[in-house]
Structure 1
Amino acid sequence: MRKGATMKNIVTDRHSQIQTFLWETHKDLCHWFDVWHVAKGIKKQLLALSKMAGCEAVLKWSPSITNHIYWSAASSKGNTEECRQKWMSIANHVVNVHEGHGDAFTACLCDELVEEREWLIKGSKAHKELLIIVNSKMLLKDIGNISPIQQTSSLEAYHKVELYFAPKASHFSHKTMKASFTFQCKLKKTASAKERWGATVAHLLPKREGW
C-alpha cells in the first residue's frame, strides 16, 4: 500500500489467500467481498442444479435468486446479520412463504406478483438441493461481508481491456501499449468516432466487431 495513504475499507473477491494476507498484515482494515463474484458462483451452481432430474424448475428462479444477493447486500447497508437473513429468506420465498425469516428480517418486502410463478414444492428434491446451496456454511460465513456499495467492476473491466490489447502470453513495449490505450480513449471521447475513424479502426483492429 502506498506510503502515507489511509485506507479503512478494501473490496476484493473471496480468494482464501487474500483473506489470509489481510488478516495477518492488515487487521485494522474492513475487508468486504465483491458481490459480482459471489453472485457469479451462485449462478453457476444454480445452472448445474437445474440440469438434474427433478430440478428443472430452478432454472426459471436462477435470475431472481442471483438478483436477490445484490439486493440483500445493498439494502442491509453493512449489517451482517440482516444481510445473512435476507439472503436465507429466498429459500422460503421460492416455496411461496413470505414470513418468519428471522428477527432481523421478518417478512418479504415483495409486492403481490402479477404474473404466475412456478413455486417450488417445499421438501421436494429441487427445494432440498437449493437449500444446500443457499445454506452453504462457507457462503453464510462470508455473505455478511459482501460490500453494500463499492464494487470491483470498474477494475475488472480495465483488466479485461488490458488483456485484450496486451495478452499475458505476448510481450509488448510500454510505448506500444500506451499508444493503443490513448488511441482508444480518444475514440470513446468523440461522439462521432465510428463515422470518422471507422475505416482506420477496422484496419487496425480487424478482429473487433461492432465498429
Structure 2
Amino acid sequence: MSLFKFCQVCGEAILDTNVHKFYTGAQLKVKWQCNGGHKDTWRSSPDVRGMPEVNLQAAASILFTGGTFTELSEWSKAMKLHMIGTTTFHAIQKAYLHPAIEALYQQQRNELLARVFQKQAPEDDDMWPQQLPQLLGDARCDSPGFSAKYCHYSFMLDDTKEIIHTELVQVTEASSSVMMEPKGFKRGLTVLLGMGLDVEVIATDRSPSIRKMMRIEHPEIKHEFDIWHTAKGFLKKLKSRSQKKCMELLRGWTIADQRRKTKWLKSDSASFRTLASLVQDGRLLKDLGQMGLFMHTGELEVFHSALLKYMPKRQHFSYMGMQERSHLAIMDHNENIVKRRQATTTTGALRHKRVACRRSGKWVIKKIYKPRTTNFRHRLMDMVYERRQDPDVQYKAPTSSLDQPQPDLPPNIAPTPAPPLQELLARHMSRL
C-alpha cells in the first residue's frame, strides 16, 4: 500500500487509519483520505456500466477457452488471488456469455448455410456446376457405456469438414441412453431438410435404427455406411478370434507391420476357415453395397475428441451449458479445419516431426501444422462488452437470459421423485 502514503493532489500525508481496502470479486478498491481533506476511491480495474471489468473478463475468459469455474477458483486460491464467486460467475454466464455465444454461432452457421445453398442452387452455366451437400453423421455421449445423460449428434459437410448442425439429446427424451443417437439423428436431419438442404448422401455408422429410418422415411437420400467404423469392427473381431489356439498364422494378419511377412493361409487350415467366416458374413456382404463411396467419419471423431476441451466428461453441466459449450467447440473447429495448413521452413519446405509409435515402437513421421487461431474468442469478448453496455440488458434479470427454445425436460433424470432425507438415512446400509 505504498501508493497511499501521500496525497497526489496536495502532497499531505495519508494515515494508515484513513486507508480502507475491500474487494468486489477480483477488483480491489481502496478508499483513502489525506490530512488535507482530499479523498477518493482507487480501483484496480475500470468498471463497465457499474460492473468491474476484470470480473466480466474472468468469467468470459474461462468459459470461452473451455475451462470451468472450479478450475478458475482453485487456480486463484493457489495463487492467493481474490476471484469472483460461483453465483457471480453463473449470473454473468446467463446474462452475457451464453447469449453472445448463441448470437455468434447462429451468425456463422447462417454464413455456412448460405455457401451450401449457393452450391446446391440450379446451375446457370457450365462454370459453376451444381453440388448437392453430402453429410457425415455421428454421435458422442457424455459418458461411456449405458449410463449417459447427454448425447450430441453432429452433422459434418464431407467436402470442407465443417460442422453444419448439432443436436443435443437428454436421456429423458428417449426410452434409453442407446436410443438417444437415433433420436438426435432424426431431429437434426429434420431441421436440415426443413431449412431447404437438398441432401444427396449421408454417411453414418451401421445403427439398425438409423438404417431403418433412412430406408422408410428418406428413401430419396443415399445412405452410406462409415467404412472406417466397419473396418475397425472387423479388425476387432479378427483379433479376438486370432487369440484362440491354432490361430498363430491368423494372428500375424492382425499386426500391420507383419502382414507382408506373414505366410498365406492354407484353405484347409482352421485360420483360413475362421477368416472366411468373418469375410463371408451375410450382414457384412449386404452392407458393402452401401460403402461404395468410401465415406468415413474420421474427421468427426477428431471433432469429438476436441469436444473434451469444452465439455470434459468428468464435469456435469446443465442442458444450456452443454448446448453453448458445444457451439464453442464448433466455432473453434470450423475456424481451423478449412484454413489450417502444414507449417513450412524459411526456405518453403514442409515441416515434419519424428514421433515414436506406442503400438509398434517404431519411429514415424507426422506433419507439423501452423498454430491454431481463435479469432472467434475476440469477437465473443467484443459482443459481451456490447451486451454489458446495453442498458436494456439487466444483470441477474430473468429477461436477460438466453431465450432459446428447449425441449420439455424434467428437473431431474430420475424416474421417481426424491424421497425425504430421513427415509433414505433409515434405509441406508454401509458396507463397512
SS state of the match for residue 316, structure 2?
A: coil
Question: Which residue in the other structure is 1:124 paired with?
Answer: 269
Q: How much does 1:6 deviate?
A: 0.4
Alignment equivalent of 1:28, drawn from 204, 220, 225: 220
Query: How far, CA to CA, are the matches of 2:216 and 2:330 in structure 1?
Result: 37
The alpha-carbon distance between structure 1 residues 180 and 26, as it changes in their structure 2 partners (threshold 3 A), is: closer
Cα distance in structure 1, aligned partners of 2:266 and 2:292: 32
Deviations 1:96-155 (A, max 9, x none): xxxxxxxxxxxxxxxxxxx65412121111111111111111111101211434321112
1:20/1:167 CA distance change after superposition, 3 Å: farther
- Shift of the 124–176 alpha-carbon distance from structure 1 to 2, 3 Å rule, reads closer
Q: Cα offset for 1:178?
A: 6.2
SS of 1:62's partner is coil
Partner Cα distance (2:312, 2:292) in 1: 30
Q: In the alignment, which of 143, 153, 171 is matched to residue 317 of structure 2?
A: 171
User: Unmatched 5+ residue regions in structure 2?
Assistant: 1-188, 341-368, 373-432
Q: Is the Cα–Cα contact under 8 Å of residues 12 and 152 in structure 1 kept in the other structure? A: yes
Structure 1 partner of 2:206: 14
Q: Which amino acid aligns with 2:280?
A: N
1:112 aligned partner: none
Structure 1 counterpart of 2:317, which letter?
Answer: H
SS of 2:203's partner is: strand
Which of 284, 288, 291 in structure 2 is aligned with 1:146?
291
Q: What pairs up with 1:128-207 in 2 under 5 angstroms?
A: 128-167=273-312, 170-171=316-317, 173=321, 191=370
Distance in 1 between the 2:206 and 2:327 partners?
A: 32
The farther-off stretch of 15-24 and 139-148 is: 139-148
| Partner SS for 2:254 | helix
SS at match of 2:253: helix
**Residue 240 (structure 2) aligns with:** 48
Contact 1:35 1:147 in 2 (8 A): no
Change (3 A) 1:19 1:166: same
Structure 1 alignment gaps of length 5 or more: 65-93, 95-114, 194-211
Residues 26, 178 of structure 1: alpha-carbon distance in 2 compared, 3 angstrom cutoff: closer
Structure-2 separation of matches of 1:155 and 1:18: 17
1:4 is aligned to 2:196: yes
Which of the pair has the greater relative contact order for Cα pairs under 8 Å at 6+ separation?
1
Greater helix percent: which structure? 1
Could you tell me how far 1:183 is from its partner in structure 2?
7.7
Calculate the TM-score normalised by the size of structure 2: 0.29
Q: Matches of 1:144 and 1:34 in 2, distance apart?
A: 12
Q: Distance in 1 between matches of 2:371 and 2:213?
A: 47
- 1:132, 1:30 → 2: CA distance? 29
Query: Which structure dedicates a bigger proportion of its chain to strand?
Result: 2
Instruction: For residue 210 of structure 2, give the secondary structure of its aligned residue in structure 1.
Output: helix
Matched, 1:61 2:206: no
Pairwise CA distance, 1:5: 0.7
Instruction: State, as a whole percentage, how many aligned pairs show the same letter.
Output: 27
In the superposition, relative to structure 1, how do residues 122 and 21 fare at CA in structure 2: closer, same or farther (>3 Å)? same
1:3-44 deviation per Cα after TM superposition (whole angstroms, max 9, x unaligned)? 211011110110101101111110111111111100011010
Secondary structure of the 1:129 match is helix
CA distance in 2, matches of 1:147, 1:41: 18
- C-alpha distance 152-176 of structure 1, shift in aligned 2 (>3 A): closer
SS in 1 for 2:236: helix
Query: Structure 1 residues 123, 10: CA separation in 2 closer, same or farther (over 3 Å shift)?
Result: same
Alpha-carbon separation, structure 2, partners of 1:53 and 1:20: 39
**Aligned partners of 1:192 and 1:5: how far apart in 2?**
33
Q: Please give the root-mean-square deviation of Cα atoms over the aligned residues, in Å.
A: 3.1
* Residues in 1 aligned to 2:325 and 2:198: alpha-carbon distance in whole angstroms: 34
Q: Tell which deviates more after alignment, 33-42 or 170-179.
A: 170-179
Give the secondary structure class of the aligned counterpart of 1:144: helix
